Structure 1
Amino acid sequence: MIELISLENVSAFDQIAIPLDLSGSEGENRATESCRIDADNDLAAIKSWLRIKGENPKTYQAYQKELERFLLWAVIERGKAFSSLNTDDCQAYINFIKQLQADNSRWVAITPTNKGHGRWKPFQYRVSKKNTDTTTVLSIRSVNYANTVISSCMDWLVSQNYLKYNSFSGIAASKSASSGMQVSQRLFTRQHIQLMLDYAHSLCDSSQPDHYAQLRVLFILKFAFNTGLRLHELAAASYGDIEALEDADGEQYFLRVVGKNSKLRKTSLPTAFIADIRAYRIAMKLSPVLENIADDTPLINSLRKKVELQLSPAALHKILADFFKRWHAHLMAADQLDNRLINKVKQASTHWLRHSYGSFLANDCKIPLAYIRDELGHASISTTSIYLNADDKKRQQAVSAAFVVNTDA
């Protein structure tokens, strides 16, 4: 380990003071052809990649965190420039973050800290809710996420003739021995969704001071399940994004959405949900005439002021997290416990509603996967196929049938 940078003095990603000989200006992996970006050092090159990912602030911050950690580790632990790292170095980094322990005071903070306050560390240890015995800082999922982000950045830098090769390209994803839920389990059935909406509706008591807040929760749940939008897509949706197409069959409604990697798509708005939007606005004492609503008015409104303001993704996450916590307590107090549903609600998040939407369309409605792919904004239909469990059901039924006792024999 080489004393080159004091982590305590890191105040901003843009201002990391990297020694000139480790800046990457003469990195061993630097391409010899003309570089296609305005970057003569590694920090500038990484910032160029981040800028093309900058449409979504949450994604930008997540990517920046991974690259910042890796850059600091390369200089401090390896004594190398980012653009001088080889595959062995990159594998060593994966091993480092996989084995990183809470007691590593040089790299890990136990309590939240801010940059520039003298106690900041690149990693923060949080006690796992599922396993309080572990002292490793990152989960296998987080390790694989870091692998993916850094490799994606290096791929792009190779394409821009900044790097000769991607040193992460040969590093496989780490395998987990955990028994966490698969995607096919992180969702609610149609029956569970109805129970969820029924409970949310029961909280809408006009005599209570939180009446409008509960009306909004019910609307958010319907919005999320009827569209399958991601959290930041829900928060960003406005009435100006609604598009109505009219023909002999009547009106069909769509919502223009900017998804991952700034990709624009149109997702369907079911006719029944359009009725829900109008009913919600009436309940909130607002005009239900969609055509007269200002384009920049958010579909999910803030209740803090009379003027409708857009909620942040973090605020939206908290609203739904509080609802799932309340629903969980309600189920625990019920006369007849549904342990399977209780366990699901305990772990649920907003993204579960997206998974529920995909599964409902694929399995209950038998909608073609290509349609569902386009609705969800997946890059590949193989991603969408995780929701289709018809083959699994047929396989289980066939195996079960093989063990049925023939009473006629």
Structure 2
Amino acid sequence: MTEQLPLQRRFSSKDFAALRAFLQKHPPATIARTYYDSNGDVHAATPDAMERYLRDMLATLFDLAIGHGSSVLADHLTASIRQHGSGRLTAGSLKLVEEAALLAVTTPAASHGIGMWFRPMGARYLKGRSIATPGDLAGYCNTRGGRGWRSVPRIGPGRARRIVAWLRRHERAIGLRVEPYVDVADPLVAPDSGVITVGGEAGLLAPLERMAICEALDGSRGVNRSAAFPYIDAHNDLAAIRAYLHLYRDQPKTLRVYTRELQRFLLWSVTIRGKALSSLHVDDCEAFKDFLKQPSPSFVGPRAPRTSRRWRPFASDSLSPRSQLYAVRALRAAFTWLVDARYLAGNPWKMVNDPVTIEREAKLRVERALPGQLWSDVRRHVQRRSAAAENQRWRIVHALMLLLGDSGLRREEAANARRETLHPYPAADGTDVWALTVTGKRSRERTVPVSTGTVDAIRAHWRDRGEDFDAPTATGPLLSPLVIPRTKAARLKHDGSQRMPYATDVLNRLIDWLRRQLLVELESLTPATQASLEQLSPHAFRHTFGTQAAANAVPIDVIQKVLGHQSVQTTSIYVQAETQRMMREVSLMFRKRNRAGRQDPDEVSDGEPAWPEQSRSRA
């Protein structure tokens, strides 16, 4: 049985590296600077403290080597101490001492500081990525995979490989497992054509476009296959699903979410249920509904590209009730279509009840809208920052912010808005306003008013692009990148024949950048206004338009048309929000008056009604 060593005899591999440098006559100050953090390691605070620590460590290792090393090594060290008063080590004897001293090496724990096991420079870069402990390091590997190290300075493939190997060597001590897919090479596509066959081997998962199903489970002989003449040329379940999804090829958002739900169900059916999709019964569908509440761990993983081996169908180990409801309804609709297309004989999902959900009272989160004064302050600040010639990004954000907040556009509508559909529209009273035609949800076209201030902001953005907004033949997206990245994907997208708009995700990043700037630069922020800015998003500007229009007595049917709501009931939420704001502000006035009345009762006139507190006291 191995002897349990006292805490002071436990050393890390970094200590041994420092000791080798000390024996090679390197100055203690250099050793402290190279191997330790002067702020975190007390023994490295001064050169004297560093030398004392290393000499004590050397004496401790001598004792261990004499007690636990070979008899030859013990005799050599004992004779050296007698002759010189202290142990003298050669290169060979130092190696033997290190081997004997392995008994003194501590093992890493998940809560250790990262600086205990890494040199200061490496620890500093890791801390810059919020990696403060070995536990954080293991989590970073599992989340980012083998290519995640590209974002950490001074860590290339070689160092990353050694870090992963070190974590795997100490998995038991740290208590966290580094997943098998964490490979420094981390090829995005499998060595073959990229198609993965599921169902024939446990554990293989792939998205729909890379999926193949073994013949026994592909549904070519499914018990629920229709005997009538099929309307689609699909010989198996995978081909039938792709035929259904092809209907939504012109609706990218719908196509994305339907693909997600169907590939989850198909993978579950083949790999967990062990049945073809066209052989499932009602009890199978009920089992999948229960599966959605807590997916199997093998189906859950961090977000990864669909071409990566790390891709998993679920990013969370539980779905919200509303997400479960959406999944069930999407699958029921897909099976209904497959029955109508005469691929399936019947729809088992018709016999499955929807998951129980709580209907939200307000479907729109109008509380994200900016208060009127804050909206004015933001407009003035962004306009002022946009005036400087070098602030091109501010001008982009200015145009985007006004399109969203003055015209009530959705993020996708602003991204796809084009110059060809924006025209002057003289008002009856002589005030100029512009009209912009956009295509919104459900492919419905509508025309929204655009202020002259918004047009001026767009015009400034076009000047930065080197284009004339007012040219008779001006065409193109209202918002577009100024610089095209030198990547293959960017070159393919911006092929030179036409200017492409911003991607919708980029608009999110632009508003997020604006949020961070405003939190730093705006003065006299109250806790309430700071909270409003903290949750700023593209949709928050759309809500701002709705609430400000309601506050300025714009008719509700007009607000509905501008926002593109299908029902006036949805738009009425903005009127309710304005009413709530009115009640809240007036109640604050009542509270102040009531507080003043309690402090000086003589100032309350005889004709003034009693406040609620007074009424309760008499009762």
Whether TM exceeds 0.5 here: the answer is yes
Native 8 Å contact 2:218 2:276 kept in 1 = yes
Q: 1:303 aligns with which of 482, 490, 502?
A: 482
Residue number in structure 1 paired with 2:367: 185
Residue number in structure 2 paired with 1:268: 448
**SS class of match (1:213):** helix
Q: 2: CA distance between counterparts of 1:237 and 1:6?
A: 48
Q: 2: CA distance between counterparts of 1:328 and 1:322?
A: 10
Cα deviation, residue 12, structure 1: 4.8
Unmatched segments (≥5 aa) in structure 2: 1-197, 485-495, 595-607
Q: 2: CA distance between counterparts of 1:365 and 1:53?
A: 40
Cα deviation, residue 289, structure 1: 1.4
Q: 2:377 aligns with which of 188, 195, 210?
A: 195
Native 8 Å contact 1:7 1:121 kept in 2 = no
Structure 1 residue 170 and structure 2 residue 365: aligned?
no
Q: Please identify the structure whose Cα radius of gyration is greater.
A: 2
1:304-319 equivalences in 2 (<5 Å): 304=483, 308-319=499-510
Question: Quick one: percent identity of the two aligned structures?
Answer: 28
Native 8 Å contact 1:155 1:166 kept in 2 = no
1:6-405 equivalences in 2 (<5 Å): 6=201, 9-10=204-205, 12-25=207-220, 27=222, 30=225, 34-100=229-295, 104=297, 106-110=298-302, 112-115=303-306, 117-125=308-316, 136-163=317-344, 164-165=346-347, 167=349, 170-175=353-358, 183-204=365-386, 206=388, 208=390, 211-243=391-423, 253-261=434-442, 263-272=443-452, 273-278=454-459, 281=462, 286-289=467-470, 291-294=472-475, 297-304=476-483, 308-330=499-521, 334=523, 336-369=524-557, 371-389=558-576, 393=580
CA 1:346–1:266 in structure 2 vs 1: closer, same or farther (change >3 Å)? same
CA 1:252–1:194 in structure 2 vs 1: closer, same or farther (change >3 Å)? closer
Cα deviation, residue 223, structure 1: 0.8
Count, aligned residues: 381
Unmatched segments (≥5 aa) in structure 1: 126-135
Native 8 Å contact 2:202 2:271 kept in 1 = no
Native 8 Å contact 1:241 1:257 kept in 2 = yes
CA 1:5–1:226 in structure 2 vs 1: closer, same or farther (change >3 Å)? farther
Native 8 Å contact 1:239 1:290 kept in 2 = no
RMSD: 4.1
Cα deviation, residue 293, structure 1: 0.9
Q: 2: CA distance between counterparts of 1:97 and 1:183?
A: 26
Q: In the alignment, residue 610 of structure 2 is paired with which amino acid?
A: T
CA 1:140–1:194 in structure 2 vs 1: closer, same or farther (change >3 Å)? farther
Native 8 Å contact 1:25 1:41 kept in 2 = yes
Q: In the alignment, residue 537 of structure 2 is paired with which amino acid?
A: S
CA 1:354–1:141 in structure 2 vs 1: closer, same or farther (change >3 Å)? farther
Q: 2: CA distance between counterparts of 1:380 and 1:228?
A: 16
Q: 2: CA distance between counterparts of 1:190 and 1:395?
A: 12
CA 1:89–1:49 in structure 2 vs 1: closer, same or farther (change >3 Å)? same
Q: 2: CA distance between counterparts of 1:244 and 1:259?
A: 21
Native 8 Å contact 1:8 1:118 kept in 2 = no
CA 1:76–1:374 in structure 2 vs 1: closer, same or farther (change >3 Å)? farther
Q: In the alignment, residue 204 of structure 1 is paired with which amino acid?
A: S
Cα deviation, residue 329, structure 1: 4.0
More helix by share: 2
Q: Which has the higher contact order (CA 8 A, sep 6+)?
A: 1
Residue number in structure 1 paired with 2:105: none
